[in-house]
Amino acid sequence: MALYSEKVMDHFRNPRNLGVIEDADGVGEVGNAKCGDIMKMYLKIEDDTIQDVKFETFGCASAIASSSMATELIKGQPVSKAMELTNQAVAEALDGLPDYKLHCSVLAEEAIKSALEDYESKKNKTE
Ligand code: FES
C-alpha cells in the first residue's frame, strides 16, 4: 500500500490557494513544536462568509496537503461552518493520512481556528 493517497500527493504537488492575502481580515499562525512545521492561514471575510483563503506552510507533505485541502473545504463557506472544520474532516477529504501523520491535519484545523479568532477579535474592536 502506498504511504499517501493519490489525493494527498495531488494536493502536495499542486497545492490549492497557496500564497498570501495582503489585506486579510484574519491571519492565524500555528506550529508543531515536535516536528517544527509551521502553517499560516489568511482569510478574507465578507458578509460572514469566507470569500478567499490562502496559506503558507513550511512543513511536511501531509501538512501542505492538509492546508491545501482545508482551504478548499472552507472557501465560500459561512464563518460558523469554517469554525466547525475538524482535522478528521480534512484527513477524510484526503482519503486518509497515516496515523503518525494525523497531527499534520490538526495543524490545518488549528491554523484556521486561529485565523478566525483573529478575525473575531478585530471585528469586536471596530464595532
Ligand atoms: Fe509535522 Fe507533518 S510532520 S506537520
Number of folded domains in the chain? 1
Domain that includes residue 114, residue range: 6-126
* The pLDDT value given to residue 124: 85
- Tell which one of 37, 38, 57 to mutate to probe ligand 1, the residue whose CB is within 8 A of the most ligand atoms: 37
Is residue 84 situated within a structural domain?
Answer: yes
Is residue 58 situated within a structural domain?
Answer: yes
Q: Radius of gyration over alpha carbons of the chain, in Å?
A: 14
Query: Is the shortest distance between the CB of 32 and ligand 1 below 6 Å?
Result: yes
Tens-level pLDDT at each residue, the chain (127 residues)? 578 999 999 999 999 999 999 999 999 999 999 999 999 999 999 999 999 999 999 999 999 999 999 999 999 999 999 999 999 999 999 999 999 999 999 999 999 999 999 999 998 887 6
Alpha helices in the chain (DSSP H): 6-13, 61-74, 79-83, 87-93, 102-126
Is residue 13 situated within a structural domain?
Answer: yes
Is residue 1 situated within a structural domain?
Answer: no
Closest residue by CA, ligand 1 atom 1: 35
End-to-end distance of the chain based on CA atoms, in angstroms?
53
Determine the Cα–Cα distance for residues 121 and 125; give it in Å rounded to an integer: 6
Cα(60) to centroid of ligand 1, in Å? 5
Is residue 103 situated within a structural domain?
Answer: yes
Determine the Cα–Cα distance for residues 105 and 17; give it in Å rounded to an integer: 16
Query: Is the shortest distance between the CB of 5 and ligand 1 below 6 Å?
Result: no
Q: Which CATH number does the domain housing residue 49 bear?
A: 3.90.1010.10
Which pTM value belongs to this model?
0.95
Is residue 121 situated within a structural domain?
Answer: yes
Q: If DSSP codes are grouped into helix, strand and coil, which group holds residue 52?
A: strand
